[in-house]
Each structure stands twice: as C-alpha cells, then as structure tokens.
Structure 1
Amino acid sequence: MTVAERLERARTDRELLTVEHAPTDEAFDGYVVAVGPEWFALAVVEPAVVALNGLVVLRLVDVAADAPEGTFVARALEHQGVEVPGDPGLELHATGKLLESAAARHAVVTVHTRQGEVLIGVPTSTADGRVELLEVDADAEWMDDTPVVAHEDVARVDLGGRYEQLLYELAGPPPG
C-alpha cells in the first residue's frame, strides 16, 4: 500500500494517526483531512491540551512512517464533542497552488523550508517556481522584506492554528 493510499484510508476511517516527517524528524498527531498527489493535510492535535489546532500540510514523499495514535486522545476529543474537520479545500497537487489556496482561506500561513527556516506571512506571488511572502515577525509586526523561497524548498505549510490567528489579529491587515 502506498503512503497516499494509507493516508486516504485513514481519512476515510477518521483514524487518528501519528505521522513522522522525515526532513525535520518531527512527529504530528492528527486526522488526515485531504490527500492529493503531492501533499496531504492533517488536522493537528495539540497533545498537551487535547484539542485540534489548525492544519499541517506535508509532502507525501516526506512521510517517514505513520501509525495509529493511542486511543486516549481520540476518546478525549470525542468526549469533548470535537469533530474531525472536513476537507479544507486546499489544492494539494502543486506547491504554488497549495500556497494560493491556503492564502485564499487563511489570513497568514507558516512556511517551513528544507533548510530549517520558518516564515510566517501572506504569499504575494507563487510564480516562476517560487513563493514570495509578505512576512509578519514574532512581535506581530509586518516586515518590509519579502523573502523568496523556491517551491522545491518548501517542506511544510501550517495554517489555521491559534498562533497564526493571533499574529494576524495583533498585526492587523498587511500593508498596501
């Protein structure tokens, strides 16, 4: 069974998984909410508070392993009445389209690169195999620089999490 098939089965069965991300050696607990030919989206469970906290979107080729999560977290979420979100409507077949669709649905996105860089902001262009980002810093201030990242260097995209929401609320709409 391919990674995509395994993740699609977990999505259909609403199975809580732990997914290991090879480039960063991080593991994410969550529910698969969408699977595309290049990327997939996971509704992330914040284990310390047993709550959903946005989405992480990962490349299929970067999945090192996946395994069912223990039953406590799934039972605790169900006990709280937390429902697994539906398909977020992201375009998961190409990096540029992913970032465009993410920006259309969320005020800011977090882009993690293969080099370990983390950029948070609004994608302003995804042309020519690169994403240009109007960046907001950790103090919720819009920056003047617009870093550029090649699509192939994007390892992960986070969106809809509480941190991104608070940054946007405190920074306000982007300038211009």
Structure 2
Amino acid sequence: MKASLFLILSLFTMTASAQKLNKTMHDKTRDKDVLINQCDRAGLIAFPEFKEMYDAVYPSYAPDSATTPELKRALSAGQHITIVLGTWCGDSKLQVPHFLKVLDEAGFPQKSVSFIAVDGNKKAENGLIDKLAIERVPTFIVTDKAGAELGRIIEHPKQTLEKDLLAIVQKN
C-alpha cells in the first residue's frame, strides 16, 4: 500500500506538471465555472467564487493556541499535504481557508502543499485523482517524505483541523 501510494503521488506530480495550472472549466453538473486539476494557492484564492469565502473566513479563524505549537513541532519538513477540493463546494470554501490558516500559523512550508480541484462529480481530468479514493471534498492527505500516506481528514474534522492534523503526524 505504501509503495503504491508513493507511485501514485509520483505519477500525480509528473502528470500535474504537464497540465495547465489553475485551469478553469464550465462544470455542467453545477452549471458554473470551476477550477479543475492542479492549482496553486494564489490561483485558488483569486478564483472569484472561492475568494469571496476565503476573504471572509481565513482572517477570522483562530487556530487553537494550545495545539498549534505542538503541531509546529510535530510537522516535519519532509511531509507533504495534498488538498483535494471543489471550488463549488461549501465545505471546501470553509475548511480549506481554515486549514491554510492552521498551516500558516504552524509554519508549514507552502511548497509542501499541493492543491487539486475537482468538478461536481469529484473528478479531475486525465485520471489525476483516480487512485486517491476521493469520495468527499475537501480531503486533506498527509504523506511522509517517501510518499506513504500518514492519514487524511475528509470533509470536516472530527475534533478541530489542528487537533486532527496533530493526531495524524504524531501517530507516525
């Protein structure tokens, strides 16, 4: 499983690098324009429908001040986080800005975070996420430096984003 996840993430990186960054498409399922495939933080927070919510919830979210220092110590430079989201999705519009605030306050490097936007059917083009078993968005996937999955947060946290993320990185 770990080896196959590493292969999947390696293939994702190669495939994603060949695709247009911050690509938009008209999603017939949602009857609106959405981001699709690999995107970056700048493209995501500039996308009009996502930007409106991001601008409102990112500054107002206050990560747990007791958990954040623990998270900062537990996160390692070799870890990577892949965020699979829908720019049309209410949970993504709420949880992704909160998650980014947590990562920012924990000092996690932005270069170690990847974003994949999906359409209303939770699909990306060219099989980009087919092997990631995405059923709900957002999904936050944490991997180690070898590409093995450490854990994931699906749709919303069980406790808080920072506590759930801490539990993932501390158990490994």
What is the TM-score with the length of structure 2 in the denominator? 0.29
**Higher helix content, 1 or 2:** 2
Q: Report which structure shows greater RCO (CA 8 Å, sep ≥6).
A: 2
Name which one, 1 or 2, has greater alpha-carbon Rg: 1
- Give TM-score, length-normalised by structure 1: 0.28
